[in-house]
Amino acid sequence: MSKTSLDELPAEGGRGNGPLLDVDNLHVEFATRAGVVRAVNGVSYSLNPGETVAVLGESGSGKSVTAQAIMGILDVPPARIPQGEVRFHGTDLLKLSEEARTQVRGQRIAMIFQDALSALNPVFTVGWQISEMFRVHRGMSKRDGMKKAVELMDKVRIPAAKQRVNDYPHQFSGGMRQRIMIAMAIALDPEVLIADEPTTALDVTVQAQIMELLAELQRESNMGMILITHDLGVVADVADKIAVMYAGRIVENASVHDIYKAPAHPYTKGLLESIPRVDLKGHELYAIKGLPPNLLDMPTGCAFHPRCPYRQDDCVTDAPPLYEIGGTRNSACHYWREVLDGDQG
Amino acid sequence: MATKGERILEVRDLVKHFPLTQGIVMKRQIGAIKAVDGVSFDLDRGETLGIVGESGCGKSTLAKVLMALERPTSGSVMINGKDIAKARGAELKRMRRNIQMVMQDPYTSLNPRMTVGDIIGEPYDIHTEVAPKGDRARKVQELLEVVGLNPDHINRYPHQFSGGQRQRIGIARGLALQPEVIVCDEPVSALDVSIQAQVINLLERLQNEFNLAYIFIAHDLSVVRHISDRVAVMYLGKVVEIGNDVDIYDKPAHPYAQALLSAVPVPDPEGREQRERIILQGDPPSPANPPSGCRFRTRCWKAQEICATEEPLLQIRPGTTHESACHFAETHDVVHVN
C-alpha cells in the first residue's frame, strides 16, 4: 500500500474542495480480556470551515473514541481501526505515516479535554507548556516562545498574563485552566478544533464564559469545531449540526433546528422529552426506560430496541441503516416517520 | 402521621468557619475559610428546598452541618424543635435517625466489599431498635423493592450494578431509618442524561409516599426547578435570594441569581441569537477573605459605594415578592425574553 504523503494536503490556509474534515464509516474496536469491544461502529460525519458539529451521546456511546481516532491519539493496541477513513482536505489521515500525522496533530487539528487539571503537566509552568507548541512545531527559542505564550494568555483573557505566565497549573482556578488548554490548542491556528466535554467540570457561569470565548475564537479564525458533549442545552446554544450517538453508532444526524423541533429517532426524542420543563412541573418526568447496552453484549438488530417505545418485530432482527430522510437529515430507525409524526408505535 | 405543612427544620444564623493555621508545632490561626456565614431557612414536612450556587459557595458544607457531620461555629439547626448542633451522645444518635443523606457519587459512596444487603442494613446495626435482627433481611428487601430494584439481588456487590441502580441503593440506605428529612447532595449529577429522569421520578414518588422533606442541592437549575417548592441561591457562604420556584426563576431580584439563570443554556436553538446573557467576569473571590459589604459587589454591574460599606440583609425589597440580599434588587425576567 502506498503511503499518502503530507504534500498532498493543501498548504495552511488553502482550502480544497469538499468538506474540511470527513469521517467516513469509521470503526474502532478494543481487544479486552472479555472479548472485542466495538466502541465505534461505522460513524460518519463531516465538518466545514467555521462550522460547529456537536456529537451528542452518553458515556460509552463512542463519542470520545471517535475524536481520539481523528486526533490519532488512540493507544494501538489495544485499540484497532479495522476500517474507515478520516479525510482531512481529502487526504486519509489514517494512512499517513506517524511522522506526517505529528505534523497535522496540534498544528492543523487540535483538541481540548474535559479535565484541564489532569491534562496539564503539574510540574511545568503554564507558560512553558504553551510555548512548547512553538518550540516543538515552529523551532522558536525559549524567549520568543514565552512571548507568544503571554500573547495567547491575553487572547484567552487570562488577567495579568505577564505575571501569571510563570505560575503552575494548580495556581489557577478550573475556568482559568480550561482557558490555558484553549490557548495551547489555538496556539498554531488550527483549522479544526475538537472540544471533548470542554465545560462539563465547570460551573454554569464559567461554562458561559468558556463557550463565549470559543465562539469568538471560532469567528475570528473560521475554524471548524467538533463539540463532544452530553448537554442538550450547550448543543442548542452553539451547534450548527448534531450527530447523536448511541452504542457506537450515529442514530440521528441533522441540523440543530430540525432536531429540537422534531427528532426523528426515538432515542433523541426520549432525551429531549426527559428535560424538565416548566409547564410540566408536578408531573412525572419522561424517562427512557432501561439502561444503555453493554458493548460486549449488544442487543440484536437495533441497539436501542430494548428501550424503545416504537419497537416492532423487525427491530429485534434487522439493524436499521442510516436512512436518508430528506435534505441533509438521517435517522437510524425503521419507523422514523412515526417518530417524526409523534405517533407512539 | 404528622401532616404536611408542619415545620420540621429551622436553621438560624448558621455559621461554619474552618480555621487556617500556620506552623506545625506552634500552630497559630491566621484566618478562617468562611464556608457558611449566616444562613437561615425553614423547611416543612413534605416540602423540597432546592439550594443552588457555584462550587465553593458552601452548599456541601451546609449539608454536612445539617447532618451534624460538622459542628457549626455558631447558629442552630432545629429538627422538630430540638437543636441537633448542640446535641451529644445518645440524644444526637436519636436525632440523626431523623435526617439522612444521599451522596453525589454512587461509585465512591458505596463500600465495594459490602453486599447491597449489608450496605442498606448497616443503619440497623447502629439503630438496633428500628429493626430486630431476625427482621433485617426482610426490611432490606422491602427497601430494594421500594426503590425499584430486584429484592433477590440482596447478596450482590455494588460493582454488579449500573450508576443509576447504585444511586437507588444509596437512596434505599437513606430511607432505611424512616427519616423525615433527606439531604440530597447532587444526587443525579454523576448519572447519564437518560438515567437522571428515572432517579428524579423515584425521589418524587418517595416524597409523596413517605411525606419526606428534601434539601436538594444541585447545580443543574432545571432539575432543581422541577423538584423544588422553594429555592435558595447561595453565593460565598450566604443565601442571596430565597423564594418559591416561580419567584426565583421568573422574577429573580438579585443580580447574581439573574446572572446564574441567564448562564444556563436553554435546550432550544430557536432565538438563541436574541437571548439575553449576563456573563460574569472572573471567578468568585476566596471565602477566606470575602469582600466587605455585599460579597457579590466585585462582580456586580450594579455595585455602588454603599455596597462596599453596608452589607445588604436578606429581606423583601420594594417591588419584589420574595427575600433578596441586594441594595438595588429589581425584578428582571432573564429567561423568557420576548
Q: Which of A64, A197, A273, A278 to mutate to test the interface with B (most CBs of B within 10 A)?
A: A278
ipTM of predicted complex: 0.77
- Looking at the complex, report in whole angstroms how far the Cα of residue A284 sits from the nearest Cα belonging to chain B: 6
- Which pLDDT tens digit goes with each residue over A95-129? 888 888 888 888 899 999 888 778 889 999 999 99
Q: Does B55 touch chain A (CB under 8 A)?
A: yes
pLDDT at A1 over 70: no
Residue type, A233: G
Specify the pLDDT at position A344: 53
What is the nearest CA distance from A279 to chain B, expressed in angstroms?
10
Selection from A274, A337, A266, A342 nearest residue A304 by Cα: A266
- Give the percent of chain A with pLDDT over 90: 14
Q: Is the pLDDT higher at A103 or at B275?
A: A103
Question: How many angstroms separate the CA of residue B316 from the nearest CA in chain A?
Answer: 25
For the record, the C-alpha cell of B40 comes out as 437561615
The string of pLDDT tens digits covering residues B83-131 is: 988 888 889 988 999 999 998 888 888 999 999 999 999 999 888 888 8
Per the listing, cell 433578596 goes with B324
For residue B22, the distance in angstroms to the closest alpha carbon of chain A comes to 19
Show residues of chain A in contact with B267, CB under 8 Å. 232-233, 235-236, 260, 272, 275
B147: phi then psi, degrees, rounded to nearest 5: -90, 10
**Searching chain A, which residue's CA lies closest to the CA of residue B202?**
A284
CB contact under 8 A, A285 and B221: no
pLDDT at A28 over 80: yes
pLDDT level of residue B44 (50, 70, 90 thresholds)? very high
Q: Are A314 and A307 in contact (CB under 8 A)?
A: no
Cβ–Cβ gap B264/A204 under 8 Å? yes
CATH superfamily, domain A17-245, is: P-loop containing nucleotide triphosphate hydrolases (3.40.50.300)
pLDDT recorded at residue A176: 84
Residue B4: band (very low, low, confident or very high) from pLDDT cuts 50, 70, 90: low
Residue B93 forms contact with A (CB below 8 Å) = no
* Share of residues in chain A with pLDDT > 70 (%): 94
Most B CBs within 10 Å, among A158, A203, A240, to test the B interface: A203
C-alpha B5/C-alpha B13 separation (Å) is 23
Give the DSSP H or E segment for B299: none
For A307, nearest residue in chain B (alpha carbons)? B194
Mean of pLDDT over chain B:
87
Q: Which of A203, A284, A287 sits opposite B54 (nearest CB)?
A: A203
Cell matching residue B323: 427575600
C-alpha cell at A42: 461505522
Closest partner residue to B197 (CB to CB) among A236, A285, A292 is A285
Of the candidate ranges A3-7, A62-66, A274-278, B195-199, the one whose mean pLDDT is the lowest: A3-7
Predicted local distance difference test score (pLDDT) of residue B161: 87
Q: What is the pLDDT of residue A4?
A: 45
- What is the model's pLDDT at position B115? 92
In sign, the C-alpha dihedral spanning B199, B203, B209, B210 is: positive
| Residue B119 C-alpha, separation from nearest chain A C-alpha, in angstroms | 23
Q: Which helix (H) or strand (E) holds A55?
A: strand A52-56
Tell me, what's the pLDDT at A194? Answer: 93
Q: What is the pLDDT of residue B76?
A: 92
Could A233 and B266 be called an inter-chain contact, meaning their C-beta atoms sit closer than 8 Å? yes
Name the pLDDT band for A243 (thresholds 50, 70, 90). Answer: very high
Q: Do A236 and B266 touch (CB under 8 A)?
A: yes
The answer to whether the Cβ–Cβ distance between B193 and A175 falls below 8 Å is: no
**In whole angstroms, what is the distance from residue B147 CA to residue B170 CA?**
10
CA A145 → CA A135, A149, A161, B68, distances in Å? 6, 6, 14, 53
Instruction: Give the gap in angstroms from C-alpha A239 to the nearest C-alpha of chain B.
Output: 9
Question: Over 70: is that where the pLDDT of B8 sits?
Answer: yes
Q: Is the pTM of this model over 0.90?
A: no
Reply yes or no on whether the pLDDT at B49 is more than 90.
Answer: yes
**Which residues have a Cβ under 8 Å from the Cβ of B285 and sit 6 or more positions away?**
B236, B291, B295, B298
Q: How many CB atoms lie within 10 A of CB B273?
A: 6
Can you give the residue ranges of every domain in chain B? 254-266+274-338
Is residue A14's pLDDT more than 50? no
Residues 254-273 of B with CB under 8 A from A: 259-260, 262-270, 272
Answer whether residue B338 shows pLDDT above 50. no
Break chain A into its structural domains and give their ranges: 17-245, 247-341
Q: In what order do the strands lie in the sheet with A323-324?
A: A109-112, A192-196, A224-229, A52-56, A241-246, A249-255, A330-331, A323-324
Nearest to B286 by CA among A173, A161, A203, A163: A173
Q: What is the pLDDT of residue B333?
A: 76
Q: Which of B256, B261, B283 to mutate to test the interface with A (most CBs of A within 10 A)?
A: B283
Q: What is the average pLDDT value for chain A, to the nearest integer?
A: 85
Question: Are B61 and B70 within 8 A, CB to CB?
Answer: yes
Contacts of B164 in chain A (CB under 8 A): 291
- Taking residues B40-64, report their average pLDDT: 90
Measured N-to-C along each axis, helices A142-155 and A126-138 cross at an angle, to the nearest 10 degrees, of 120
Q: Are A93 and A6 in contact (CB under 8 A)?
A: no
pLDDT tens sequence across A211-225 = 888 888 898 888 999
CA angle (B259, B264, B267) in 5-degree steps = 150
Q: Do A203 and B221 touch (CB under 8 A)?
A: no
